[in-house]
Structure 1
Amino acid sequence: MELTAHLRPAEGLAERVLKVNHAGENGAIQIYAGQLLVSRITARSMRSELSEFQSHERKHRSIFQAELKRRGVRRCRSYHLCGAGGFVLGFVTALFGASAIAATTAAVESVVLRHLERQIERLTAVDAEAVAAITSIVLEEQQHHDLSAAHAQSSRFWVRVLTPVVAMSTETVIWLGMRL
């Protein structure tokens, strides 16, 4: 997926990336909201970790929001779509329990980390402030991935079933966000 394709003329790559990342963080917050709602019944043991992850995502969203505000750039048109889709994804996958929750988070974070790495590579020589904003969240996103992947190992079934669906959904939302 080419990051520079179909940019609106008034915005550069950094602005589009920041907008999409901001919308994605909103989606992540809502994934955890859906998971937290259902985990009261299906995965009580994960609630503390999910709450912590959600607080990280709120902080990440604030970082991108501040950078957008500093640049005078409005949020992405996909912001609410990411939120609604995230909530549905979190809610539905949490119905299947802790292993499905973990597999979902690992799949989302795998895609996100790959995109963050590419963004940093593409923007390093172009926009130091955008790179700083993106870099500031990478360690926590990696932590979410690693902890969730470790939890998901207990159920290869959910990893096999959810990973391709969740990964493709995440890629699609990013692709749409870069074009809206």
Structure 2
Amino acid sequence: MAISARLQRGETLGDRVMKVDHAGEHGAICIYRAQLWFARWRAPDMVEELNGFLAHEQRHRAVFGAELQRRGRRRCRSYHLCGLGGFALGSITGLLGRRAIASTTVAIETVVLRHMREQVAELCASDPAAADALRDVIAEEQKHHDLSGRRLAKPGLWPKIINPVVAASTEVVIWLGMRL
């Protein structure tokens, strides 16, 4: 599947992907920070795990940020939108508790992992540096998905509500980022 993007003058597809993924990681950082704030009260057993996820996302943002800097590119126009949306989503789901927190991670990571794998396939020949940056991040994103998925072993209300809403929202944010 070809990645569709509206490229700026002189911008490559790899440039655009790095911008969008950098903004997405910023959004993820804001989600986990907000969830952590509420998890101390609503899901204290998740605090350590969320701190680990947050550290991974900070590293991912740094990986994509370094690649943008190497390319002489500015961050995506959606960067602050991702942060604001991430903070709102993290606050709401953090307030709702552990299953909502885990459902959010599973929904986002399902979409993100699919996009990142498509990006690697699309960029491996034309932009190996971008593909390498993506490969560097994928394993940790998979770990977030899998750990959170295990928390949802029993069926429940939050996954049924959160998964489609958060997955669709994540798709929209990626789509917008590829076109801004």
TM-score by length of 1: 0.97
2:140 matches 1:157: no
Give 1:3-152 correspondences, 5 Å limit: 3-152=3-152
Q: 1:36 to 1:104 in 2, by over 3 A?
A: same
Deviation at 1:154, TM superposition (A): 3.2
How much identity, in percent, do the aligned residues show? 54
Quick one: which amino acid aligns to residue 84 of structure 1? L
1:96 Cα deviation after fit: 1.1
| Cα offset, 1:10, TM superposition | 1.9
Give RMSD over aligned pairs: 1.2
Structure 1 unaligned regions, length at least 5: none
Which whole-Å CA distance do the structure 1 matches of 2:152 and 2:84 have between them? 24
Q: Give the structure-2-normalised TM-score.
A: 0.97
Deviations 1:110-154 (A, max 9, x none): 000000010001001101110110000000000000000110223
Q: Is the 1:100–1:152 Cα contact (8 Å) retained in structure 2?
A: no
Distance in 1, matches of 2:96 and 2:70, equals 41
- The question of whether the paired residues in 2 share the 8 Å contact of 1:99 and 1:154 is answered with no
The separation in 2 between residues aligned to 1:40 and 1:155, in whole angstroms, is 24
- Secondary structure in 2 matching 1:161: helix
Report runs of 4+ in structure 1 exceeding 3 Å deviation: none
